[in-house]
A and B are shown apart, each in its own frame.
Chain A
Amino acid sequence: MDYYHTPSTVDEALTIAGKLSGNYTFFAGGTDIQNYRKQQLDTNEYVIDLSEIEELDSITIVDGALHLGAMTTLDKIVSSDEIQNHYPIIAEAAKTVATPVLRKTATIGGNLLVTNRCTFYNQSQEWRDGVGSCLRDVGDICQVTGGKNDCYSRNVSDTATALIVLGAEITLMTPNGIIQKSLKDIYLPCGIKFHDLEERCILTQISVPIEPKKWWYKKLRLRKTLDFTSLTVAATIDTAGIARVCLNGVSMSPILIEKPLKELTLEGLISIARKNCKTVDNDLMPLKYRREMINVYLKEWWKSFR
C-alpha cells in the first residue's frame, strides 16, 4: 500500500481511510501535523493528503449564512471581502494565526482541529526522553502538574475561539452519512482526546448565520506574529442582549460563557472564567501572568461596550 494518498473527493478520501484501518493521518495544510510527525508524536503509517479536494475550498453566502469549506486557507479568509464585511471577527482571528506564508497553506479546518499543545510535549524525542515522557506520550504521569493523572495540554485554535462565539455549526462526512453539530460541542475537556470526531470522519464545512453582533477579539502571545496563543478571548453581544465570551489557550478546550448581558457583572464573569479554565504552567508565558491576563482581557472587553 502506498504511503501517500491524494484523493480528489471526500468520498475517495473516506474509501482510502476505510482500507487503512485507522493507521493513517489526514493532512490538510499539514502546517500543524507535520511537526508532530517529525517529532514522532504522530506515528501512523500512512498519510491522506486532503489538499487536492477542490470541493472543500470555498467561501459562500447562502440563505443568510456564511459557509466555509474546510480546506479554505486562512489567507483566503483574511482577504475575503464577504468575511470582512459580514464577519470581521473571523478575518481578525485568522490573521492572528501563525505567519502570512503559513496562512497560505494552513486551512480553517486544520485550525479548528489543531492539536493541543504543551511545553512538555511539543518537543523532540530526545528532549522528551530527557525529562521523562509524560502521560500523553509514553509515560505514566503528567509532568507539568508534577504527577497528576490527567492531561492539561492547551487547545490553541484562534479561529475556534471566534467561531464559537458566533455560534458556528460544522458538517462532518463519515461513511455512515453526514453529521451536523455545533462547533462548541466537538471539543472535549481532555488534553489527550481533545475532540470527539470519530475515525474516518472528515470536517467538510463550517457555517455561521449572519446576524448583527458587536464583537471583540484579542490574542496574547510573545511576539505579534508566529507565536501560538497564551490566551485568546473572543466575545459577541447579539441584538437580544446575549453575551457570549470564549477563552482559549488556557484550558484543554475552549471555554464558553453565555449569559444575558443584564445578568452579568464583570466580577461574576471573571470568577466563572477563572473557575472553568484549568490553566497550568505549560506555556512559554508564566502561569501567574497568564491567569492575571484573563482578568485584564475580560476587563478590557467589559469596558469596550460600557
Chain B
Amino acid sequence: MGLKQIELTVNDFSHPFLVESDETLLFTLRNRLYLTGTKEGCNQGTCGSCTVLLDGKPVLSCMTPTLRCVEKKVITIEGISSGENLHPVQKYLVKNGGLQCGFCTPGVVMTAVPFLEENPDASRREIKEGLSGNLCRCTGYKKIIDALENAAAEMRS
C-alpha cells in the first residue's frame, strides 16, 4: 500500500505531508494534524461525531478516504467560528445547555451548520430528522434541538 505525499487544505491552510494510502480523513485529521476536535466514536458511520465539511458538504470523516480529499477543502470544528466569535450554532449550544460531556458536539455542529444554511426555515421536526445521524449519549436531545431552533432564528435574521 505505502505512503503517499499529498497536500491537504484544512481550515484554509494547506499542509504537505505523508499519509498511508488507505487511511481515513478522520485518522489524518486527528493523528497527523492533531486536530482532535473531530471525534472518533464508532469509526463505522453510525454516530456522526466525526462529521466535517468537504467542499462545503457534510461527510463522515471515518468513512472518507484521505486521498479523496486532495484538491478539496476540508473544514473541521476548529475552523467553524470566526476567531473568538462563535458560530450561532455553537453559541446557542452553549447558551441553551445543548451538551453535557461534549463528545458528540463537534459532529452536531458540523451537521447543523450546513443543514441550517440549506434549510433556514426548517421546522423542529425537520431539524430532528436532519440531525438523526448524530447520536448523543447524554443530553436526551431536547436541548440540542432547542439550541438549533434558536440558532436558525438568528441565522435567518
Does B59 contact A104, Cβ atoms closer than 8 Å?
Answer: yes
Does B21 contact A4, Cβ atoms closer than 8 Å?
Answer: yes
CB distance from B139 to the nearest CB of A (A): 17
Does A4 contact B44, Cβ atoms closer than 8 Å?
Answer: no
Bound-state Cα–Cα, A2 to B21, Å: 9
Chain B 32-68 interface 0/1 with A at a Cβ cutoff of 8 Å (1 = within): 0000000000011110100100000111100111011
A102 at the interface (CB under 8 A from B): yes
Residue numbers in A under 8 Å from B58 (CB-CB): 101, 104
CB distance from A157 to the nearest CB of B (A): 17
Residue numbers in A under 8 Å from B115 (CB-CB): 100
> Given A3-B2, A105-B59, A105-B63, A35 and B44 touching (CB < 8 A)?
yes
Bound-state Cα–Cα, A99 to B133, Å: 5
| Contact-size category for B | 20 to 34
A259 at the interface (CB under 8 A from B): no
Does B133 contact A225, Cβ atoms closer than 8 Å?
Answer: yes
Chain B 90-131 interface 0/1 with A at a Cβ cutoff of 8 Å (1 = within): 000000000000000000000100010000000000000111
Bound-state Cα–Cα, A98 to B45, Å: 9
B22 at the interface (CB under 8 A from A): yes
Residue numbers in B under 8 Å from A224 (CB-CB): 132
A258 at the interface (CB under 8 A from B): no
* Pairs A–B under 8 Å by Cβ, sample size 13: A3-B21, A3-B22, A6-B68, A30-B64, A31-B63, A34-B45, A49-B68, A51-B68, A99-B132, A100-B131, A101-B51, A105-B60, A226-B46
